[in-house]
């Protein structure tokens, strides 16, 4: 038992212990639950730092399900290149978000439940990061879905929150259906679930191209659900019904990144099928562009950031499809910082303005909420790809990969970059500059240190996390700078930012109105109609069958038959004894005739 494995076990199990402890013993004691959760998540972060600087450790794990050599599911913790950085991200941002929640959820009635669910989420997410085999990852995948459901539905007495939680979980489950089939298909080919064994067994297998493409695409279904790609993206904007720290942690930095992480883990599988890569990259690019378009017309600050997350996830998935997993994880790394920062900043604004989320009711906050403004600005610049900040470096690697592969991917990616700068500029101008549009906006102020502290830390990280870190993610010799891509990216950033600034400076309502984009291209309505329609059709067929066949033909038919037969036969009951005797005699004569003379 080396130290790395022990640390990894502590990192995985401590949040679970806290979650169980809170649920069983501390439900009434809100402040104790909060403090326990925060302290332990910070301890896991410290442990993750030690793990990061230690050696890799990938033991085979304890046997759990063992049905012979054909079906073996161990419980193993893989501490390798990929999981170490992910551990840092998850525990680091988790700690900052939980510290922030101490203030944001300070007056909430169910703080204990919130922190219990938060710790449970940390456990589930760390399970995905550390899993060394597919089935274990799938189990934690589902657990993360449950945690997301619990946290989105934290204020479940709100109709919209409960519905959003359901939507998130059900949409995830649809993706997970394909995911499970993909896992089983690949198990049937290679005979094992463990990632390292699968990778070792690959050269010895001969699999048809069709099989490989189908398996990879099915496994990708899981990422489509979890990382909210088209067509299963519908749950992420609605998930903003949950508390803002939840949005920051789960729906920006960690859970939605789990899809990208999983694909990076099985990149050796994806490399086998060029068709699947094309599909993955296409879906990623489409999601990125679509989400950026919709974000330009949204008015709720959290919805804008949600669509921004969708768009950046699209970038990451596209990078995976372009065989640039290193670029995808690099972008995941930087995105975690600046997106969490943006969400926490939005949360500070929402908290200060007493839960107002419409950007057209804010304004002029730059002067009144200085810390929030500076950190939010840093996050915005990082997101939009301002040269020198972290997002610029990671986005650049993805754009280079797209440029080297196919212009059909590069152009949408570039347009998305332009739109990203545009809608973020729109957001910043409307929220921070100009005059306050309402009374509450005029009285906004920065939060306490527990709120602004994480913002500052994340702000600093958003700025510096790109320098010299690309080498950790992208193996191989450093390529020379692709000046065409860099210049195009910088012009997209400048162009988008300037258009946003120009169009929205000093406006009090939205000058541009594109209803289709505002209504998210009516996809939610389409899905509701499809599901309601098919449900109604099935129900009416079942109803007809039950009413006419089961009730009518079978039940009533049989009973009417018996009744009719009885009605006919009743006429033979004369009640007259001598008539019966006569018929008896006739019958005897007939019998004698038949027996003797025939």
Partner 1 sequence: MSLTLNHYLFVSGLLFAIGFAGVILRRNIIIIFMSLELMLNAANLSLVAFSRFNLTADGLPNYNAQILVFFIITVAAAEVAVGLAIIVALFRARHTVHVEDITSLKF
Where along the sequence are the contacts to partner 1 (CB under 8 A)? 570-571, 573-578, 581-582, 585
Minimum CB separation of residue 570 from partner 1 in Å reads 4
Give the shortest CB-588-to-partner 1 separation in angstroms: 10
Q: How far is the CB of 567 from partner 1 (least distance, A)?
A: 10
CA 54-56-59 angle, 5° bins: 125
**Minimum gap (Å) between residue 556 Cβ and partner 1:** 24
Question: Strands 62-66 and 72-75, how do they pair?
Answer: antiparallel
**Nearer Cβ to partner 1 (157/578):** 578
* Rounded least distance, CB 557 to partner 1, Å: 24
| 309 token code pair | 């997350």
- Could you give the maximum distance between any two Cα atoms of the chain, in Å? 123
Nearer to partner 1, 53 or 597 (CB): 597
Cα dihedral 432/437/440/442 (nearest 10)? 60
CA-CA distance, 449 to 371, in Å (whole number)?
Answer: 10
CA distances from 323 to 268, 327, 411, 530, 543 (A): 10, 9, 18, 35, 51
Nearest CB to partner 1, comparing residues 515 and 575? 575
Question: Considering beta carbons, is residue 71 or 580 the nearer one to partner 1?
Answer: 580
How far apart are alpha carbons 261 and 291 in whole angstroms? Answer: 21
With beta carbons less than 8 A apart as the criterion, state whether 79 and 56 touch. Answer: yes
* Cα distance from N-terminal residue to C-terminal residue, the chain: 98
Q: Which is nearer to partner 1, 513 or 568 (CB)?
A: 568
Q: How far is CA 244 from CA 39, 306, 361, in A?
A: 21, 11, 18
Give me the least distance between CB of 563 and partner 1, in Å please: 14
**Closest CB 551 distance from partner 1, rounded Å:** 30
- Nearest to residue 427, comparing CAs of 515, 365, 355, 492? 365
Q: What is the DSSP string of 24-65?
A: HH-SS-HHHHHHHHHHHHHHHHHHHHHHHTS--B----EEEE
Smallest gap, in angstroms, from Cβ of residue 576 to partner 1? Answer: 7
Cβ 558 to partner 1, closest distance in Å?
23
Helix residue spans in 447-482 (DSSP H): 449-464, 470-473
Report angle CA 389, 497, 521 to the nearest 5 degrees: 110
Contact criterion met (CB below 8 Å) for 364 and 436: yes
């Amino acid at each position: 038992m080396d130290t790395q494995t022990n640390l990894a076990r502590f990192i995985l199990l401590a949040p679970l212990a806290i979650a169980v402890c809170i649920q069983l013993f501390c439900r009434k004691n809100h402040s104790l639950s909060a403090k326990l959760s925060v302290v332990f998540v910070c301890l896991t972060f410290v442990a993750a730092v030690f793990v990061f600087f230690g050696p890799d450790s990938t033991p085979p794990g304890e046997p759990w399900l063992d049905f012979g050599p054909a079906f073996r599911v161990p419980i193993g913790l893989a501490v390798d290149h990929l999981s170490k950085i992910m551990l840092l991200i998850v525990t680091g941002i988790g700690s900052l978000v939980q510290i922030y929640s101490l203030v944001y959820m300070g007056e909430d009635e169910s703080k204990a439940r919130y922190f219990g669910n938060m710790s449970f989420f940390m456990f589930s997410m760390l399970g995905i990061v550390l899993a060394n085999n597919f089935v274990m990852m799938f189990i934690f995948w589902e657990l993360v879905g449950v945690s997301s459901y619990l946290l989105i539905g934290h204020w479940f007495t709100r109709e919209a929150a409960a519905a959003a939680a359901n939507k998130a979980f059900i949409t995830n489950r649809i993706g997970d259906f394909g995911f499970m089939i993909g896992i089983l298909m690949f198990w049937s080919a290679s005979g094992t679930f463990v990632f390292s064994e699968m990778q070792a067994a690959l050269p010895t297998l001969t699999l048809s191209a069709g099989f490989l493409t189908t398996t990879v695409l099915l496994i990708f279904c899981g990422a489509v659900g979890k990382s909210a790609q088209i067509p299963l993206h519908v749950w992420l904007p609605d998930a903003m019904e949950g508390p803002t720290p939840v949005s920051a942690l789960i729906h920006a930095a960690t859970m939605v990144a789990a899809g990208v992480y999983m694909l990076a883990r099985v990149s050796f599988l994806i490399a086998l099928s060029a068709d699947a890569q094309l599909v993955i990259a296409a879906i990623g690019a489409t999601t990125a562009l679509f989400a950026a378009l919709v974000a330009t017309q949204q008015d709720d600050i959290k919805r804008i950031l949600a669509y921004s997350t969708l768009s950046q996830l699209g970038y990451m998935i596209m990078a995976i499809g372009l065989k640039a997993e290193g670029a995808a994880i690099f972008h995941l790394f930087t995105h975690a910082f600046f997106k969490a920062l943006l969400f926490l900043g939005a949360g500070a604004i929402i908290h200060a303005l007493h839960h107002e989320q419409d950007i057209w009711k804010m304004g002029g906050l730059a002067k009144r909420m200085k810390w929030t403004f500076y950190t939010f600005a840093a996050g915005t610049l990082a997101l939009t790809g301002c040269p020198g900040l972290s997002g610029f470096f990671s986005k650049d690697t993805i754009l280079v990969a797209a440029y080297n592969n196919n212009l059909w991917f590069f152009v949408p990616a570039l347009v998305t970059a332009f739109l990203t700068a545009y809608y973020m500029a729109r957001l910043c101008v409307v929220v921070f500059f100009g005059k306050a549009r309402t009374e509450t906006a005029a009285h906004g102020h920065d939060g306490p240190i527990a709120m602004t502290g994480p913002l500052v830390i994340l702000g600093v990280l958003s700025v510096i996390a790109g320098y010299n870190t690309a080498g950790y993610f992208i193996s191989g010799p450093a390529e020379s700078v692709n000046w065409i891509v860099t210049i195009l990216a910088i012009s997209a950033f400048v162009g988008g930012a300037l258009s946003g600034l120009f169009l929205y400076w000093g406006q009090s309502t939205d000058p541009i109105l594109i209803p289709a984009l505002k209504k998210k291209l009516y996809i939610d309505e389409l899905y509701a109609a499809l599901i309601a329609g098919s449900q109604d059709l099935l129900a009416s067929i079942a109803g007809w069958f039950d009413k006419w066949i089961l009730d009518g033909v079978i039940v009533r038919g049989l009973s009417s038959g018996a009744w009719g037969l009885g009605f006919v036969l009743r006429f033979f009951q004369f009640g007259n004894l001598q008539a019966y005797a006569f018929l008896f005699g006739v019958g005897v004569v007939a019998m004698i005739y038949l027996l003797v003379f025939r």
